[in-house]
Amino acid sequence: MFYKQLKEFPQDFLWSASTSAYQVEGAYNEDGKGLSIQDLHHPTNGITDFKVASDHYHRFKEDVALMAKLGLKAYRFSISWSRVLPEGKGEINEKGIEFYDQLINELIKCHIEPIVTIYHFDLPLALYNQGGWNNRETIDAFVEYSKILFERFGDRVKYWLTINEQNVMINHPNAMNPGKVPTKKELYQQCHNMFVASAKATILCHEIVENGKIGPAPNITAIYPEKCNPSDVIASDNWESIRCWLYLDIAVYGRYNSLVWAYLEEKGWTPTIEEGDMEVIEKAKPDYLGVNYYATATVAAAKNDGTDCQPRNGDQQIMLGEEGVYRAAQNNYLEQTEFGWMVDSIGMRVTLRRIYDRYHLPILITENGLGAKDVLTEDGQIHDDYRIDYLKRHFHQARLALTDGVDLIGYCPWSFIDLVSTHQGYQKRYGFVYVDREENDLKEMKRYEKDSFKWYQEVIKENGKNL
Ligand code: BGP
């Protein structure tokens, strides 16, 4: 649809940016922090581990000052579970609480709304060693941990996100399981346990945090059929339900997606649902939906002949296909980033429209951005015009989605500052702020504003009116 005029971004639009604790903080074993599963990460191919990261733990004041200079209205970050509870439960590490207290106070002082993700991929190692999400006691630990956060920070933090990309943790389990990779049956049990945990945290947030708003933050994307062949459409529906709707249907409607349930039954992967689980899940009502969006996916009908799953390296955006369910296909209408992720700004509008149409809840884009090999010039500049171009196109589509009627409340590009990419360390950078370090040479970690920093600063200043 062509519009004569596009809607303005609302005055209180949350122009934001994202990070996550283990990718940005460093200080992995300081001030009483317990280890998380990410701290076991051993560098491969010269890629850094997460031990020092961007040293935000020690430089948060300088970083918040940069956020203020950028003009951010909000900042999405995650809390490290094992910094607050070194064993995942039990004794609180007051030093950990102190760090987040200071960070939150600094943000508030700069009029930046904190948006907190409770759990972003960094399960405490102690819990992992006791079975992790296979063990229902992890549900109780998550609830205990969430309660501490709501009680300690709920007076200042009003926007909460339960679990980052639960769907990625289930569909791409390698990075979350330093030991043995769980079977699919185990993964869907873990998935169910996480559903119960988030539901309990959602209910608790509403009880404890005055005017608190809480929602999930899965990685959602529209799935396209390769052709208008109806069998391709069936395959794209299959994958869209398995990858996306399962997670949001549970959160919003409190029920398992019927297509996914049929799939789980067929595979013998249905989870054990204990008495009371579905009541809790149904009772928990999110206030908004966090959505991480990077790229659409295109699929073709499964052949079910043993060749549907491609033996190549997948990551959270690169599909492998699944025998008898769908095959990965090429989309020749789209470009790719240098790391092989599809670039599809219009696909973001498609995704937002589908989500809003299905759930009618406010949407916060909790992640979206371009990972690239940035270059620091001798005179301290980073000319990331490719990132500006990427974001400009996506922001424009966000505005179109807003004009389409989607209740979009904010946008948190990934990432505020360079941080450790999950697979490519500092070779793949996302930030508005450059951090001068290499994979294994920490240098001084000086911060530099990229060209995209200045561009985003303007966008925020004029409330996106030229997008
Ligand atoms: C999302 C994760 C983030 C972040 C981002 C970029 O899936 O929620 O933690 O890492 O993807 O991905 P990568 O770091 O692999 O480039």
The residue ranges of every structural domain in the chain are: 14-461
Whether ligand 1 lies within 6 angstroms of the CB of 171 is answered as: no
Using the Cα atoms of residue 66, residue 369, residue 439 and residue 76 in order, give the sign of their dihedral.
positive
Cβ atoms of 127 and 89 within 8 Å: the answer is: yes
Residue 302 and residue 321: Cα distance in Å, rounded? 8
CA 364 to ligand 1 center in whole angstroms:
17
Please tell me if the CB atom of residue 414 comes closer than 6 angstroms to any atom of ligand 1: yes
pLDDT at position 78? 98
Q: Give how far Cα 310 sits from Cα of 25, 318, 320, 329, 337, Å.
A: 36, 11, 5, 10, 21
Atom of ligand 1 nearest to the CA of 315: 15
Ligand 1 site-directed mutation target among 370, 414, 419, 429, most atoms within 8 Å of CB: 414
Q: Do 323 and 305 touch, CB atoms closer than 8 A?
A: no
Q: Relative to the CA of 121, which ligand 1 atom is closest?
A: 9
Say how many Å lie between the CA of residue 198 and the centre of ligand 1: 21
Q: CA of 203: how far to CAs of 78, 81, 212, 286, in Å? A: 20, 19, 11, 9
Distance between CA atoms of 179 and 183, rounded to whole angstroms?
Answer: 12
Tokens (6 digits) for 25: 């903080």
**C-beta atoms surrounding 2 within 10 Å:** 3
Q: Is the CB of 291 under 6 A from ligand 1?
A: no
What sections of 86-183 are H helices per DSSP?
94-109, 125-129, 137-153, 166-171
Q: How far is the C-alpha of 269 from the C-alpha of 253, rounded, in Å?
A: 22
User: Going residue by residue through the chain (467 aa), what tens digit of pLDDT does each one get?
Assistant: 899 999 999 999 999 999 999 999 999 999 999 999 999 877 777 899 999 999 999 999 999 999 999 999 999 999 999 999 999 999 999 999 999 999 999 999 999 999 999 999 999 999 999 999 999 999 999 999 999 999 999 999 999 999 999 999 999 988 788 888 999 999 999 999 999 999 999 999 999 999 999 999 999 999 999 999 999 999 999 999 999 999 999 999 999 999 999 999 999 999 999 999 999 999 999 999 999 999 999 999 999 999 998 766 667 667 789 999 999 999 999 999 999 899 999 999 999 999 999 999 999 999 999 999 999 999 999 999 999 999 999 999 999 999 999 999 999 999 999 999 998 999 999 999 999 999 999 999 999 999 999 999 999 999 999 99
Cβ contacts of residue 207 below 8 Å, gap of 6+? Answer: none
| 168 Cα nearest atom in ligand 1 | 7
Among the residues of 215-371, which ranges form H helices? 230-240, 246-253, 258-267, 277-283, 345-359
Tell me how far the alpha carbon of residue 30 lies from the centroid of ligand 1, in angstroms: 24
For residue 76 and ligand 1, the question of a CB distance below 6 A is answered with no
Ligand 1 site, residue 421, Cβ cutoff 6 A:
yes
Amino acid found at 194: M
**Judging by DSSP bridges, how do beta strands 342-343 and 335-336 pair with one another?**
antiparallel
| C-alpha of residue 3 to centroid of ligand 1, in Å | 34
**Residue 292 Cβ contacting ligand 1 at under 6 Å:** yes
Specify the 3-state DSSP secondary structure of 46: coil
Q: Which of 421, 426, 439 to mutate to test the pocket of ligand 1 (most atoms within 8 A of CB)?
A: 421
Which atom number of ligand 1 is nearest to the Cα of residue 423? 15
Measured by CA distance, the residue closest to atom 15 of ligand 1 is 422
The active-site residue, picked from 322, 367, 378, 449, is 367
Taking the centre of ligand 1 as the mean of its atom positions, its distance from the CA of residue 422, in whole angstroms, is 6
Instruction: Point out the ligand 1 atom lying closest to the alpha carbon of residue 20.
Output: 9
The half-sphere exposure of 56 on its side-chain side, counting CA atoms within 13 A, is 30
Domain 14-461 matching CATH 3.20.20.80: the answer reads yes
Is residue 423 lining ligand 1, measured as CB closer than 6 Å?
yes
Count the residues in the chain.
467
- 192/255 Cα distance (integer angstroms): 11
Map residue 169 onto helix, strand or coil: helix
Dihedrals phi, psi of 314, to nearest 5 degrees: -100, 160
Question: Ligand 1 centroid vs 230 CA: distance in angstroms?
Answer: 33
Ligand 1 atom showing the smallest separation from residue 316 Cα: 7
Q: Say what angle helices 385-403 and 345-359 make with each other, to 10 degrees.
A: 30
Q: Note the pLDDT tens digit of each residue in 264-282.
A: 999 999 999 999 999 999 9
Q: Is 146 in the pocket of ligand 1 (CB under 6 A)?
A: no
- Residue 159 CA to ligand 1 center (angstroms) comes to 21
The verdict on the CB of residue 316 being under 6 Å from ligand 1 is yes
In short, whether 367's Cβ falls inside 6 Å of ligand 1 is: yes
367 tagged catalytic: yes
- Does residue 337 have its Cβ closer than 6 Å to ligand 1? no
> How far lies 411's CA from each of 2, 9, 13, 382, 397, in Å?
23, 11, 8, 23, 12
DSSP classification of residue 334: S
How many whole angstroms from 120 Cα to the centroid of ligand 1?
A: 10
Whether the CB-CB separation of 296 and 223 falls below 8 Å is answered with yes
Ligand 1, atom 16, lies closest to the CA of: 421
| Ligand 1 lined by 165 (C-beta under 6 Å) | yes
CA of 203 to the centre of ligand 1 (A): 28
* pTM greater than the 0.85 cutoff: yes
Give tens-digit pLDDT for 76-130: 999 999 999 999 999 999 999 999 999 999 999 999 999 999 999 999 999 999 9
Distance of CA 27 to the CA centre of its chain: 22
Q: From residue 131, how far is each of 6, 22, 227, 273 by CA, in Å?
A: 51, 21, 43, 18
